[in-house]
Amino acid sequence: MTDRILDYLRRNPSDAPRLVVDLDVVERNYHAFAHALPDTRVFYAVKANPAPEILGLLARLGSNFDCASVVEIEQALAAGATADRISFGNTIKKERDIARAYELGVRLFAVDCEAEVEKVARAAPGSRVFCRILCDGAGAEWPLSKKFGCVPAMASIVLEHAHDLGLVAYGISFHVGSQQGNVEAWDNALATAAGLFRELAERGINLAMVNMGGGFPAKYLRAMPGVPAYGEAIFRSLSRHFGNRMPETIIEPGRGMVGEAGMIEAEVVLVSKKSADDEVRWVYLDIGKFHGLAETMDEAIRYPIRTLRDGEATAPCVIAGPTCDSVDVLYEKTPYELPVSLAIGDKVLIEACGAYTTTYSSVGFNGFPPLASVVI
Ligand SMILES: Cc1ncc(COP(=O)(O)O)c(C=O)c1O
């Protein structure tokens, strides 16, 4: 939460929930990443928050962009990035989208299987490809599962196939899971990447780059290490596994870049109980899973919530959204402490909402409009 956001909210009252993002925090975070890993290029993960003001700021600061779709590529270009600063980082792409990205000048693509390599070879001849390897996501609050990546033994086949098809077998990527609390989580994957560099070099294919993905956390309820601790641990691992043959490296921070820059102001719609002797209140907000807070799924991300009554006595409550859908409950398994005096009509401030909120918001579920967003 920043004074600028609080001041904006005071001056601009609203009846609807909205996200306010402070660009000063994004700028500070960009510099923190650039400083913590000075030889590593930053590719902002556009999916975290594609607001034009954020992309424009990062483009001016010198950031590169990790894009998941043609639309994100167009957004990065519109913000001032040149195509050589863009990676099409999604391993699952339609061939015509690869062709469109190529037409727009993009020459760096993620793959994790031979079929995807063949698409890139046909639609973006001569481009650089990096192969994503599986990561177990241990230590992450939002793990990315087995959906992306392949086992290392397959990665070497995929990259050799790319080489044979005239592509540049450029490197290895991985993602250690989003909201990764363990600064050492990159070590195993870097050891594997170094092994693949050696193995492919023996076959005459010289990889150049390791894409170390995202995973850098925002501070929600739980304390997390700062960016410098991640930088030091990653640099130690790079040195351990690559020695004096350091590869080109990139990181793709999303949450760590914009999470703490944003705050949602919401309103209490109802406070009620299910029986006279129910010990736990239900607090219903005017925002829920369908209007930006999707990452409360399985109660994975626990946002800090502030009220004007903080400091007064608290009691556990269930927090839910406003729609007529029974899954629209934010925190129930682990109830949330909020002031006993919290009342209908009170505003609440939900912190660290800059990442993965606006784009998750539905277009109009139950008639509620998408989450409004302001960048200051
Ligand atoms: C390919 C890729 N890179 C980077 C990110 C950003 O991750 P984070 O928000 O954990 O930094 C994601 C998130 O899903 C991703 O899929």
- The CATH number of the domain holding residue 171 is 3.20.20.10
Q: Is the CB of 354 under 6 A from ligand 1?
A: no
pLDDT at residue number 369: 95
Predicted local confidence at residue 138, as pLDDT: 83
Residue 33 forms part of a structural domain: yes
Are 250 and 273 in the same domain? no
Looking at 214, 240, 258, the residue that finishes a domain is 258
How crowded is residue 206: how many other Cβ atoms within 10 Å of its Cβ?
Answer: 11
For residue 74, the model assigns a pLDDT of 98
User: 274 and 248, same structural domain?
Assistant: no
| CA 162 to mean position of chain CA atoms | 28
CATH no. for residue 350?
A: 2.40.37.10
89 CA: nearest ligand 1 atom: 1
Nearest CA to ligand 1 atom 1: 89
Give the residue numbers spanning the domain of 302.
260-375
What local confidence, expressed as pLDDT, does residue 139 receive? 81
Task: Please give the pLDDT value at position 184.
Answer: 97
- Ligand 1 atom nearest to CA at 216: 11
Q: Which of 58, 66, 116, 216 for mutating ligand 1's site (highest number of atoms within 8 Å of CB)?
A: 66
pLDDT at 64: 98
Note whether residue 315 is domain-resident.
yes
Please indicate whether residue 150 is annotated as part of the active site.
no
Nearest Cα residue to 199 out of 163, 157, 239, 227: 157
Query: Does 159 lie in the same domain as 108?
Result: yes
What are the strands, taking DSSP E only, across the chain?
18-21, 40-45, 64-67, 86-88, 108-111, 128-132, 140-142, 168-173, 178-180, 209-211, 248-251, 262-272, 281-285, 305-307, 314-320, 329-339, 347-350, 372-375
Residue 8 within any structural domain of the chain: no
Are 128 and 38 found together in one domain?
yes
Q: How many domains does the chain have?
A: 2
Domain edge (last residue) among 200, 224, 258? 258
Domain contains 34: yes
Measured from the CB, is residue 177 less than 6 Å from ligand 1? no
Query: How many whole angstroms from 376 Cα to the centroid of ligand 1?
Result: 24
The verdict on residue 5 lying in a domain is no
7 Cβ neighbours under 8 A, 6+ residues apart? none
Instruction: Report yes or no: 13 and 271 within 8 Å, Cβ to Cβ.
Output: no
- Is 265 a pocket residue for ligand 1 (Cβ < 6 Å)? no
**Does 324 fall in a domain?**
yes
d(CA 261, CA 375): 10
Q: Which pLDDT does position 172 carry in this prediction? A: 98
Domain end among 223, 258, 293: 258
Q: Are residues 208 and 304 in the same domain?
A: no
* Digitized pLDDT (tens) for each residue of the chain, 376 residues in all: 789 999 999 999 999 999 999 999 999 999 999 999 999 999 999 999 999 999 999 999 999 999 999 999 999 999 999 999 999 999 999 999 999 999 999 999 999 999 999 999 999 999 999 999 999 888 888 777 788 999 999 999 999 999 999 999 999 999 999 999 999 999 999 999 999 999 999 999 999 999 999 999 999 999 999 999 999 999 999 999 999 999 999 999 999 999 999 999 999 999 999 999 998 999 999 999 999 999 999 999 999 999 999 999 999 999 999 999 999 999 999 999 999 999 999 999 999 999 999 999 999 999 999 999 999 9
DSSP state letters, 330-369: EEEEEEEEEETT--TT-EEEE-S-SSSSGGGS-SSGGGPP
Considering the domain architecture, whether residues 57 and 192 belong to the same structural domain is answered as yes
Rounded Cα–Cα distance for residues 39 and 209 (Å): 12
